[in-house]
Amino acid sequence: MKYILLVHHDEAAFEKMSDETKRGLLAESIRLCQQLDAKGEYVHASPVHPAATATLVRVREGRSLVTDGPFIETREQMAGYFLIEAKDRDEAVAIAGRVPGARIGTVEVRQVREITGLP
C-alpha cells in the first residue's frame, strides 16, 4: 500500500535555524530515503518551496479562482512529502516517526487511494 507522509513545520522557525542545522536535516532525510529505497519502501520524496510561493486553484460554477499564497493562516505549513510503500498503517506511522521533520513539526500519514485507469 502506498502512503503519503506530509511534512508540516513552522516556516518562520525553520528560517531562523542555522544553515548547518538545515543541511543536517536535509542530509538525514536523504539517508532515510536511501534506507527506505534499500528495503523497497521508497517511491518519492521532496521538500517544497515556501507557502508564500503557493497558488490555490478553485473552480466554482465553471470559473477558475486563482489565489497566490500565502492563503491560509496556520502555525505550520507543508514543507515536503515522502511517498512510500508500507505493508500497513502501523509501518507507515513507524516510518513517519523517522522523518526528521517530525522533530520540528508534524508528519501527517495518509493512505493513497489506488485508482484503476491511471497511468
Tell me the residue type at 75: R
100-87-2-75 Cα dihedral, nearest 10 degrees: -30
Question: Among 17, 14, 39, which Cα is nearest to 98's?
Answer: 39
Residue 14: how many CA atoms within 13 Å on its side-chain side? Answer: 25
Q: What pLDDT is stored for residue 68 in this prediction? A: 84
More confident site: 74 or 11: 11
**pTM assigned to the model:** 0.87
Task: Give residue-wise pLDDT tens across range 62-99.
Answer: 999 888 876 666 778 899 999 999 999 999 999 999 99
Tell me the residue type at 60: R
Superfamily of domain 2-111: Dimeric alpha+beta barrel (3.30.70.1060)
Chain-wide mean pLDDT for the chain? 92
